[in-house]
Amino acid sequence: MRPMTAPPEWRCQAADLPPGRTLAFAVACGGRPVQAFVVNHQGTYGAYVNRCPHTGTTLDLWPNEFLSDDGRWLICATHGAVFEPASGACVAGPCAGDALTPLPLRLEGEALVVSGLP
């Protein structure tokens, strides 16, 4: 169920997102709550709006299930688009050449902080 409100920033402890893991959350974009997620791919973090550029559905059919079985790619569960975790670029599938919408992400001490969009 989508939340009615969302904070302008979301944060977690970096230790809670080890390599090969993702976390889903909601953050405010344009004053509205938007589903989003962070991924740690081999030590590189990425934060994206959870919206496939193909039809606009969320990527995870099952909550927080974004990665391929081998952990190398982000996968859209609806039609199988394949995205690079570090860049969000779609490299295969019906929206190849497009990309996930990135969100600003920074480290503050031991915390990962993701900002929404204005």
Q: Which residues bind ligand FES (CB under 6 A)?
A: 52, 54-55, 57, 76, 78-79, 81, 93-95
Q: Which helix (H) or strand (E) holds 39?
A: strand 32-41
Q: Which is nearer to ligand FES, 28 or 75 (CB)?
A: 75
Q: How far apart are CA 60 and CA 21, in angstroms?
A: 13
Q: Which is nearer to ligand FES, 52 or 112 (CB)?
A: 52
Instruction: Give the nearest distance from C-beta 21 to ligand FES in angstroms.
Output: 21
Instruction: Give the nearest distance from C-beta 112 to ligand FES in angstroms.
Output: 25
Instruction: Give the nearest distance from C-beta 44 to ligand FES in angstroms.
Output: 23
Structure tokens at 1: 């169920």
Structure tokens at 65: 């299930």
Q: Which is nearer to ligand FES, 28 or 81 (CB)?
A: 81
1 contact partners, CB below 8 Å, separation of at least 6? none
Q: How far apart are CA 6 and CA 58, in angstroms?
A: 17
Q: Would you give the distance in Å from CA 26 to the centre of its chain?
A: 10
Q: Which is nearer to ligand FES, 95 or 112 (CB)?
A: 95
